[in-house]
Amino acid sequence: MIDNCSFYQKSRQKLMALLTDNSAVIVPSGEEQIRNRDVEFPFRADSDFIYLTGFEEPDSVLVLLKKEGVESHLFIRPKDLEQETWQGRRLGVEAAPSYLAIDSAFAIDELDEAVLLLLEGVESVYVSFSQSPDFLSTIHSWIHTLKQKVRKGIEAPKQVCDLDVYLHEMRVIKTELEIQFLRKAATISVQGHLAAMKAVQSSQFEFQVQAALESEFVRLGSPRVAFNSIVASGENACILHYTENRSEIRQGDLVLVDAGAEWQGYAGDITTTFPASGKFSDTQAQLYSLVLAAQQAAIEAIKPGVVYDVIHQASARVLTAGLLELGILQGALETLISEEAYKRFFMHGTGHWLGMDVHDVGAYKQNQQWRALKAGMVLTVEPGLYISADHQDVDSKWHNIGIRIEDDILVTESGCEVLTLGLPRTVTEIETWMSQELTKES
């Protein structure tokens, strides 16, 4: 049986308890995508599918039924010696029920025929509205086929409902097992960032730092990165989602690394910013310390009952006051805050939900109001400042400095816990750590 199988069983049971009788849930794992010619991108199953099955093969579809009881049916690729010789092993139909603790399994090529029988008499079909249009079209085609059989006494589903409303809200509050997975992802991610900080002093290019970072992830057992790694030096750090990672690293540059490892389907997400030389310039140190103070203010605000936007407002206030003190902004503090003057230099939110997806699912507002935090939620806190040469009205001494500091935070019953501890964070800590690592090398 698959590791932690009871978690996936409980997830299915909890989901179906939320839905009406005579309903069905349909969740696909996804298909392999062509990278170029006959080469595929590495496959990673849909997060909702993993959450409900723990299974990660492509071309699979889970069907859950709630009629007299709850039934689970899985459609997967059958065993095929020739395909497995070329492409790798498959679980197969025969082994799936006991291995995954589901009621029955079928070959995926039986899906179109079998699903028509399963959906007979079902009133509501739940499917993720964030699924691809092609899959949603397939759902509608099945219902249309059943409607053509009404003269034979067959009752077709009457409505298609958005599964996200239920399943994605379930995923916002993490179980103890999920928190274990997130802790492990965070721990591996921390070690990767330390490897990057160590490697920068002997690296000429961004991609060499990336290689050290991701090599450490793999060495510690992570099967993949949680998202495309960002290693941005100098002016590249002012590009929020810079992923080329090909530039030469200059001696006076700051290097911004935004990267995370994945563990058991759960993501780590850390951003570190550090000097390539091991020593901050005065201007770099001033801006870095300001961003760190903003992050600390945001983290201190996190506890159950606090409204989500309070976190962002806490960091925005510190950043605005600091930019005013440094002369980068001019005016009255409260006016600058209300006008969001900081957005020229801090144009993104302070964080996001974290879980199976790095930008995890779940609403940030409920009934048009920012939601209150609850124990079991996991989020990032990542304020930043980005002052490019395009900011012509700002003293050039601040130009081409991009800084972001990000940690992963668990909301606890009494406050919060930083999952990504272990990184040097202050200017002094970073300089001391990098100096010590350089001494070890020499």
SS (H, E, C) 194-218: HHHHHHHHHCCEHHHHHHHHHHHHH
Whole-angstrom distance, CA of residue 280 vs CA of residue 260: 24
The pTM of this model reads 0.96
Instruction: Give the pLDDT score at 255.
Output: 98
The single residue listed with the structure tokens 């001391």 is 432
Domain with CATH 3.90.230.10 in the chain: 173-441
Instruction: Give the pLDDT score at 2.
Output: 67
Instruction: Give the pLDDT score at 259.
Output: 98
Instruction: Give the pLDDT score at 128.
Output: 95
Instruction: Give the pLDDT score at 92.
Output: 96
CATH code reported for the domain at 5-171: 3.40.350.10
Instruction: Give the pLDDT score at 10.
Output: 96
Instruction: Give the pLDDT score at 342.
Output: 98
The single residue listed with the structure tokens 């300089």 is 431
**What is the β-pairing status of strands 262-263 and 254-259?**
unpaired
Q: Which residues contact 329 (CB under 8 A, 6 or more apart)?
A: 320, 323, 336, 341, 342
Show the low-confidence residues of the chain (pLDDT under 70): 1-2, 442
Query: Which residue spans within 198-350 are E strands per DSSP?
Result: 230-233, 254-259, 262-263, 266-267, 270-275
Domain with CATH 3.40.350.10 in the chain: 5-171
The catalytic site residues sit at 38, 241, 258, 269, 348, 352, 359, 382, 386, 404, 406
Whole-angstrom distance, CA of residue 241 vs CA of residue 228: 9
| Fold annotation for 173-441 | Creatine Amidinohydrolase (3.90.230)
State which amino acid sits at residue 42. P
Instruction: Give the pLDDT score at 1.
Output: 59
